[in-house]
Structure 1
Amino acid sequence: MIARCFIRLIQTHYQDMEISHVLTRRPLNTFSDFPMADRLTNSIDQLVDGADLIVECSGDVFHGTEVIERAFEAGLQVVTVNAELQVTTGSYLAGKGFLTEAEGDQPGSLAALHEEALMMGFKPLVYGNMKGYLNHDPSPEDMAYWAKRQGISVDQTTSFTDGTKVQIEQVIVGNGLGASITQQGLQGLASTNLTETGNLLGMMADRLGQPFVDYVIPAGFPAGGVFLVCRHDDEQREAIEYFKLGPGPYYTLVRPFHLCSLEVGKTVRRVLSGGSVLLNNSIAPTLGVGAIAKRAMRAGELVERGIGGYQFRGEALKLDQHPDHVPIGLLRKTALKRAVEPGQLVTFDDIDILPSRALDIVMQMRAERAENAVPNHSVKNAPAGMAVLDS
């Protein structure tokens, strides 16, 4: 859906741009109504040879990683609509070439709102997502029904419904914009009034002493957008209240939509015009997305997929607290080495992971974090008043 809509957008509204090729893994003769079907190719080489920039929107961690590395070898910049990839291999890739998530999906929309807030003098405290519906363990029958009704895949529908996608989205925002989390799995507050909930979240950020990412579950107002909870200068308080944002000290800035593929063109133009990265997972992430078992499973049980599957869901976590967790983006066609219980966070000791370039990257980043971790004696010997942080 993202590729189809993006291509139609460029064809109709961006006369100075052209789609050179569209990479697919499906047989080329299986497409009937794809726009610009003559540009379809199964060759990564053909994709990159004719391009000035790559838009990677497969939603696939493994395939996307291979495509991006090939694009970097060709000296190309890459725009992604693939938060799943960003939180799995994106930090490594961000150190190898120009990589940015696009505006349109919630992470890019939050990053754009962040830029606007800074230009107006606001200090962001909370980066918020809106979640229309949450069921940690939906049934296959329900997911098949909603997937057909919404016109998207069952895997996508499941990852949206069980909360995995919102956890992934908020982790890339936290890593990219320097925010943390208040707890594993985020708060996910129910909200009937976003301003009141924003005030509560702002107080939580002040107590935490740093910005954090989270989401709300709206009731009584539309979901689907993003928001920031911010502070501003005290001398601006009267003016801001006159501008209808309330008396402060916390102000909630709302972007009530995210239009996915219709907004990707803005980021493409930004990059082609020499603009900076809008958002990526950063080269030094502090957050990850672990795999939480939805039910009891026995040793030897096959795991078809993590993101969008019925065995696991994703939860945001702090990397320094869970160095052995398996990123949920790595779970694909593998098997458990030992039994797990419902609610258990899966580690590398629990599961066999199929060899892949994505696994190599994750293991390399894991080894580098362990090597760079601050030894315990460094904390003990730190001068009074100094905080020693694990990278």
Structure 2
Amino acid sequence: MQHNPEIRIGVVGTGFISSHFIMALDRQKGFTASRVLTRRPIEGCAGFPRPELLTNSLADLIENSDVVLECTGDAIHATDVVAAALSANLPVVTMNSEFHITAGSYFVGKGLVTEAEGDQPGDQAALREDALEMGFEPLVYGNIKGFLNHDPTLEDMTYWGNRSGISLPMVTSFTDGTKVQIEQAFVANGLGAEIAKPGLLGVPEDDLKAGGTQLAEAADRLGKPISDYILSLKLPHGVFIVGKHDPRQKGALRYLKLGDGPYYVILKHNIFVHLEILKTIKRVVNERRILLDNSAAPVASVCTVVKRDLKPGDRIASGIGSFDVRGEAVRIADTVGHVPIGLLADAVITRPLKRGDIIRMDDVELPDSLALRAWKEIERSVLNAGYGQPEKRTAIAS
């Protein structure tokens, strides 16, 4: 019997997800980590579980990989990596909503690129597949967020970052809402849904059925499924779908503890992050099927909202996880010329901006990048095609 060689996974990034994914591969057969790409000096990656795999060369990673896993959370760097991998005819699996909502649509149709299960968007996509198989009609793709503070302090974020073992920018983006806005805008695009209003509805509710019903009613008023979230410290760390079903199933669904309808909540109550990624890699390798991308015709983006007054000459190293700005989901057609927060890196403010302003392209100098060029092409394509023009849509009040 011929032995099947192991699938070589080239990993991009050396953070929480990368480190723990590589550890988890020790318990899996048929797959191995081949290279790990980092932009840091290799000698500076102390504590990484497989230091012998580290490389600073993208070409080295590609040459020694059968599939690439991109999990940096950096939209600009990921765009370059994805472009190179696809040029080499390699499939790419991501744990990087920031990339997809910024430049992901540029790559749709150019190769196999998919978000993985394990983060909220991928888990919502997988839950949708299950819901459809059972005959549900999804109305709400939902995220559960525990805590929200649009303007957290450096002191608090340093404490929570150290306590959680995640980076300061990451914990800040979770806290100020940027991450959930990115995730749910991405889900709206990838699953053919809408956002009900700029910044999403974000229903504060400890009862999942009650909160899900509020969101489903908003979707019914809009006449289209929505992507949104519930804010609660008491609900589980998970995702959910609210949907309708065949009225003839009402008695059976009541017996199955789903209530009287017409809205039924399906909950995935755990997010396992790095432990779920391999499911999507297997899907890609064995079936050549994606789980979730940003679609070729996105309706939503995540703009950059100013947290404090900014003046010309102010520099912003990174928009995601910043104490100067945060992200807010918007419709592309309603917010022409905005700067997606994933593009705000090494940026210089050129005009005075007040707290609450949305940063436009004319307000800032951005370094040239493939991600920036890709976004401009995406926006131009969306506007020229007239996807989701404002006059065709009924507004939803919060």
Q: Which position in structure 1 is the counterpart of 2:148?
A: 134
Separation in 1, partners of 2:115, 2:224: 24
Alignment-mate amino acid for residue 130 of structure 1: I
Does residue 1:369 correspond to 2:395, yes or no? no
Separation in 2, partners of 1:303, 1:35: 32
Separation in 2, partners of 1:99, 1:311: 32
TM superposition shift of 1:364: 2.0
1:332-367 Cα offsets, whole Å, 9 max, x none, are 111111111111111111111111111111122223
Does residue 1:5 correspond to 2:45, yes or no? no
Q: Which position in structure 1 is the counterpart of 2:373?
A: 360
**Paired residue for 1:307, among 320, 338, 358?**
320
Q: Which position in structure 1 is the counterpart of 2:4?
A: none
Does residue 1:64 correspond to 2:78, yes or no? yes
TM superposition shift of 1:99: 0.6
Q: 2:222, 2:393 within 8 Å by CA — same for their partners in 1? A: no
TM superposition shift of 1:388: 9.8
Does residue 1:197 correspond to 2:208, yes or no? no
Does residue 1:344 correspond to 2:357, yes or no? yes
Separation in 2, partners of 1:190, 1:366: 32
Q: 2:206, 2:235 within 8 Å by CA — same for their partners in 1? A: no
> Unaligned regions of 5+ residues in structure 2, if any?
1-15
How many residues in Structure 1 have an aligned counterpart in Structure 2?
377
Q: Which position in structure 2 is the counterpart of 1:292?
A: 305
Taking structure 2 as the reference length, what is the TM-score of the superposition? 0.92
Does residue 1:105 correspond to 2:119, yes or no? yes
Q: Which position in structure 1 is the counterpart of 2:11?
A: none
TM superposition shift of 1:30: 2.2
Q: Which position in structure 1 is the counterpart of 2:8?
A: none
Separation in 2, partners of 1:15, 1:237: 44
**Paired residue for 1:157, among 158, 161, 171?**
171
1:195-230 Cα offsets, whole Å, 9 max, x none, are 1111222222111110001111114x3341001110
**Paired residue for 2:187, among 169, 173, 177?**
173
CA-based RMSD of the aligned residues comes to 1.6
TM superposition shift of 1:323: 1.5
1:152-202 Cα offsets, whole Å, 9 max, x none, are 000001000000000000011000000001110001111121111112222
1:24-48 Cα offsets, whole Å, 9 max, x none, are 1111222333222211111111101
Q: 2:315, 2:348 within 8 Å by CA — same for their partners in 1? A: yes
Q: Which moved more, 1:145-154 or 1:267-276?
A: 267-276
Separation in 1, partners of 2:226, 2:361: 28
Partner of 2:228, secondary structure, is strand
Partner of 1:47, secondary structure, is helix
Alignment-mate amino acid for residue 332 of structure 1: A
Q: 1:131, 1:223 within 8 Å by CA — same for their partners in 2? A: no
Separation in 1, partners of 2:353, 2:179: 23
Partner of 2:333, secondary structure, is coil
Partner of 1:273, secondary structure, is helix
Q: 1:23, 1:40 within 8 Å by CA — same for their partners in 2? A: yes
Does residue 1:279 correspond to 2:256, yes or no? no
> Unaligned regions of 5+ residues in structure 1, if any?
380-386
